C-alpha cells in the first residue's frame, strides 16, 4: 500500500488534516444515499417531505475500510503510527450525518470564530490529552459538496489550544462538562470541507469543527467515524517513534517530548444519542419491511 508522502505528513502536522481524493467509487454511495431516503420516508425529489433539516442516522450497513478504501486505510495507519496501534477492524457505515437544508433561509456565512457549534468530537469518553478512543477524526464524503453547500467548517489551528487545555488537566473532562468549542476564540484559520463522493478527510482528533448552513438545495451526506487506538497516545517514546497524530500534539505544545500521566480513571460514557439512534433504526427497519 502507498504510504503518505512526506509532504502529506507535513501538511497534517501543520494543518491538522490531510485530504485523500477518490478513495472509493460512487456505486455504494449512490445505493446508501438512496436507501437513506427510504429509511427516512423522504422523497429525494420533493424537499417538502424532508421534515428534519439535519439527521444523524444510525448505521445500517457496514464495510471494512481496508477493502473498501485501501488508500484511506493506509493513510489512517500512517497517521496513527501503524496498523498494530489501531483498534481493528476499521469500519465505515451508512450512519450518515445529512444536512438537508440547515438554516437554508439564512445567507451563507464564511467559516469564522463567530459561527456557532464549534466542538471537538467524542461524546462517549472522558477526554484526556492522550485519549485513545478518538484516535483520529474522519470526514467521509458520500455526496458531492460544492462551496457554500453545508460542508463542515474546520479550524486547522485549533490543535494547539486544545492540546494546551488538555495538558493542564490530568484529571480530564467528562464530555458533558467540557466546552472545547470556547477555544475557537484562539483560532484564526478556518476552512470548509468540500469535495466529491469518495474523498476522505483525515483530521487530528483535537480538530475543532462545526456544522454549517446549507442554502444550496442539495442534501449533504457525510459520516464522521472515529478511529480508535488500542493504547493511549504516548508523548515520551524511547525511540522517538511518534505517530503524526502524537507529533502534531508535541509540535503544538512546542516540546520534543512530554511525560503525561492521567490522575483518574478513563471512563466510557453512553450518550443519549445511542438510545435515540437505536429507536430510529428499529423504526426504519419496520418502514423498510413494509415498503
Ligand X SMILES: O=C(O)CCC(=O)C(=O)O
Helices first, then strands: H and E counts in the chain: 7, 11
Q: How far is the CB of 20 from ligand X (least distance, A)?
A: 18
Q: Pick the closer one to ligand X by CB: 98 or 233.
A: 98
Question: Nearest to ligand X by Cβ — which residue?
Answer: 152
Q: Work out the widest C-alpha separation in the chain, in whole angstroms.
A: 60
Q: Are 186 and 161 in contact (CB under 8 A)?
A: yes
- Binding window for Fe ion (CB under 5 A); candidates: 16-24, 113-121, 157-165, 241-249: 113-121
> Residue 280 CB: number of other CB atoms within 10 A?
17
Please tell me the count of residues contacting Fe ion according to CB under 5 A: 1
Q: Pick the closer one to ligand X by CB: 57 or 253.
A: 57
Of 74, 149, 152, 216, the residue at the interface with ligand X (CB under 6 A) is 152
Q: Pick the closer one to ligand X by CB: 99 or 143.
A: 99
Q: Pick the closer one to ligand X by CB: 8 or 99.
A: 99
DSSP E strands: which ranges in the chain?
17-20, 54-56, 62-64, 91-93, 97-99, 137-141, 153-155, 191-192, 200-203, 208-210, 220-223
Q: Does 192 bind Fe ion (CB under 5 A)?
A: no
**b/e burial code for range 205-219 (CB count within 10 A of at least 16 → b):** bbbbbbbbbbbbeeb
Of 93, 109, 224, 228, the residue at the interface with ligand X (CB under 6 A) is 224
Q: What backbone phi and psi angles, to 5 degrees, belong to 282? A: -60, -45
CA contacts within 13 A on the Cβ side of 93: 13
**Which stretches of 87-206 are DSSP H helices?**
159-167
Binding mask 200-219 for ligand X (x = CB under 6 A): ---------x-x--------
Question: What's the CA gap between 64 and 69, in Å, rounded?
Answer: 8
Q: Which does 246 bind (CB under 5 to 8 A by kind): ligand X, Fe ion, none?
A: none
Q: Which does 99 bind (CB under 5 to 8 A by kind): Fe ion, ligand X, none?
A: ligand X
Which residues in the 229-288 window bind ligand X by CB under 6 A?
Answer: none
Of 57, 76, 97, 121, the residue at the interface with Fe ion (CB under 5 A) is 121
Of 97, 136, 163, 233, the residue at the interface with ligand X (CB under 6 A) is 97
Q: Does 99 bind ligand X (CB under 6 A)?
A: yes
Q: Are 215 and 109 in contact (CB under 8 A)?
A: no
Which residues in the 23-82 window bind ligand X by CB under 6 A?
Answer: 56
Which residues in the 121-150 window bind ligand X by CB under 6 A?
Answer: 121
Question: What's the CA gap between 55 and 101, in Å, rounded?
Answer: 10
- Binding window for Fe ion (CB under 5 A); candidates: 31-39, 121-129, 176-184, 240-248: 121-129
The contact set with ligand X (CB under 6 A) reads: 56, 97, 99, 121, 152, 209, 211, 224
The contact set with Fe ion (CB under 5 A) reads: 121
Amino acid at each position: 500500500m502507498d504510504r503518505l508522502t512526506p509532504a502529506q505528513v507535513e501538511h497534517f502536522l501543520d494543518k491538522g488534516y490531510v485530504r485523500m481524493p477518490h478513495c472509493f467509487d460512487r456505486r455504494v454511495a449512490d445505493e446508501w444515499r438512496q436507501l437513506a431516503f427510504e429509511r427516512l420516508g423522504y422523497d429525494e425529489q420533493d424537499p417538502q417531505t424532508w421534515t428534519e433539516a439535519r439527521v444523524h442516522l444510525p448505521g445500517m450497513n457496514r464495510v471494512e475500510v481496508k477493502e473498501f478504501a485501501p488508500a484511506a486505510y493506509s493513510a489512517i495507519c500512517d497517521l496513527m503510527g501503524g496498523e498494530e496501534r489501531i483498534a481493528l477492524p476499521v469500519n465505515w457505515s451508512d450512519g450518515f450525518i445529512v444536512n438537508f437544508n440547515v438554516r437554508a433561509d439564512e445567507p451563507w456565512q464564511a467559516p469564522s470564530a463567530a459561527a456557532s457549534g464549534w466542538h471537538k468530537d467524542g461524546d462517549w469518553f472522558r477526554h484526556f490529552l492522550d485519549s485513545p478512543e478518538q484516535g483520529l477524526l474522519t470526514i467521509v464524503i458520500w455526496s458531492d459538496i460544492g462551496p457554500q453547500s453545508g460542508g463542515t467548517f474546520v479550524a486547522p489551528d485549533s490543535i494547539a489550544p486544545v492540546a494546551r487545555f488538555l495538558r493542564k488537566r490530568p484529571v480530564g473532562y467528562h464530555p458533558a462538562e467540557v466546552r472545547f468549542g470556547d477555544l475557537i476564540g484562539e483560532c484564526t484559520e478556518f476552512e470548509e470541507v468540500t469535495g466529491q463522493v469518495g474523498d476522505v478527510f483525515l483530521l487530528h482528533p483535537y480538530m475543532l469543527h462545526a456544522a454549517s448552513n446549507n442554502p444550496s438545495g442539495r442534501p449533504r451526506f457525510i459520516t464522521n467515524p472515529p478511529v480508535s487506538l488500542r493504547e493511549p497516545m504516548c508523548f515520551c517514546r524511547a525511540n522517538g517513534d511518534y505517530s503524526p497524530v502524537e507529533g502534531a500534539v508535541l509540535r503544538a505544545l512546542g516540546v520534543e517530548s512530554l511525560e503525561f500521566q492521567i490522575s483518574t480513571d478513563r471512563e466510557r460514557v453512553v450518550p443519549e444519542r445511542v438510545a435515540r439512534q437505536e429507536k430510529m433504526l428499529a423504526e426504519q427497519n419496520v418502514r423498510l419491511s413494509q415498503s
